[in-house]
Amino acid sequence: MMMPKTYSSLPNFTFHDYQGLLESLLQVGYKFEFVKNLLPASSIDQSKKQIVYLRHDIDFHLNGVEKIALIENRLRICATYYVLLTEQYNVLHPRSLAVLEAILRLGHDIGLHYDLSIYPTDLPAAHARLRWEIDLLRRITGRDIKTIVTHQPFRGIPDPFRALDIYIHPHNSKYQENLTYISDSARSWRDENLLNCFKESRPQRLLLNTHPEFWLSDEMIKDRWVYSKSVMHPNINAIATDSLRAQEAVWRDHIATKLHDAREVK
Ligand SMILES: [Zn+2]
């Protein structure tokens, strides 16, 4: 185990600092639990066990996300990965499926990340849409989907699913007592609340949301625009680029292109 970082400053977005953050949370006594095991305030363990509910919203791509799952697995930490079915990554592509399988094999859980901006405004239709997405993700993963979270809640669209009892939504008001929420939104730390987890008066329960796509670098790339261009763009485009290269190889060898070009020469 590497020496834990002393938390006088927030972690950089690197593999190294991600691992250091988890090790430091373990070192100060936090245990990690699945979001689906969140308990309402009335049933919170009276022993005041310190718990981290580690959550990942997959907003951009699955490519490379298994590296984060592996870091956690090596530390015997469990996390919940929330997958969108409606973003630009194709969950059914074999390479995406391989990442989802790796996440599950490494001991993690998968939940649904739903995007209200594309949901029907009619309430029964919205519920039917949610059930359809959950069923789809259940079939894709072969696991029951017990937990859901909203994509881009900052858009302010009223969320009819947050208070449902049948799925665990970590922002349901019944879970909020004694639960501190911290997220790495926009590859940035909004405030320094994360550092409170390493003080004497640390939060008892922490809902920590990190986007794995922001941490996939050995190199410390502080500039988020440079990171976006040099790491996120290639990862987002990885499957499309390989698919296009494969198509170009087909074009080069295809009899139709040879016959077509031979006619052009005449
Ligand atoms: Zn999201």
pLDDT at 45: 62
pLDDT at 212: 98
Give the CA distances from residue 49 to residues 28, 45, 206, 238, 258, in Å, rounded to whole numbers and listed in that order. 12, 7, 11, 42, 70
Going from the Cα of 197 to the center of ligand 1, the distance in angstroms, rounded, reads 24
pLDDT at 153: 86
| Annotated domain spans of the chain | 15-220, 224-266
Q: Which fold has domain 15-220?
A: TIM Barrel (3.20.20)
Residue spans of beta strands (DSSP E) within the chain: 31-33, 51-58, 80-84, 109-114, 148-150, 179-183, 205-209
Report how far residue 52's alpha carbon sits from residue 180's, in angstroms, rounded to the nearest whole number: 10
Going from the Cα of 56 to the center of ligand 1, the distance in angstroms, rounded, reads 9
- The string of pLDDT tens digits covering residues 160-197 is 999 999 999 999 999 998 999 999 999 999 999 999 99
Going from the Cα of 10 to the center of ligand 1, the distance in angstroms, rounded, reads 22
- The string of pLDDT tens digits covering residues 33-53 is 999 999 887 676 656 789 999
Report how far residue 209's alpha carbon sits from residue 165's, in angstroms, rounded to the nearest whole number: 22
Going from the Cα of 61 to the center of ligand 1, the distance in angstroms, rounded, reads 11
Using 50 as the pLDDT threshold, list the residues of the chain that sit under it: 3
For 110, other C-beta atoms within 10 Å of its C-beta total 23
Going from the Cα of 153 to the center of ligand 1, the distance in angstroms, rounded, reads 8
Going from the Cα of 57 to the center of ligand 1, the distance in angstroms, rounded, reads 5
Report how far residue 71's alpha carbon sits from residue 1's, in angstroms, rounded to the nearest whole number: 11
Going from the Cα of 113 to the center of ligand 1, the distance in angstroms, rounded, reads 7
pLDDT at 261: 94
**Model pTM?**
0.93
Beta bridge partners of 150: 114
User: Among 79, 40, 57, which residue's Cα sits nearest to residue 179?
Assistant: 40
User: Among 211, 203, 260, which residue's Cα sits nearest to residue 231?
Assistant: 211
What is the sign, positive or negative, of the torsion defined by CA atoms of 152, 38, 133, 244?
Answer: positive
Going from the Cα of 84 to the center of ligand 1, the distance in angstroms, rounded, reads 8
Going from the Cα of 156 to the center of ligand 1, the distance in angstroms, rounded, reads 13
Going from the Cα of 119 to the center of ligand 1, the distance in angstroms, rounded, reads 15
Residue 213 amino acid letter: E
Going from the Cα of 33 to the center of ligand 1, the distance in angstroms, rounded, reads 21
Going from the Cα of 117 to the center of ligand 1, the distance in angstroms, rounded, reads 12
Classified as helix, coil or strand, 132 is helix
Beta bridge partners of 53: 33, 207
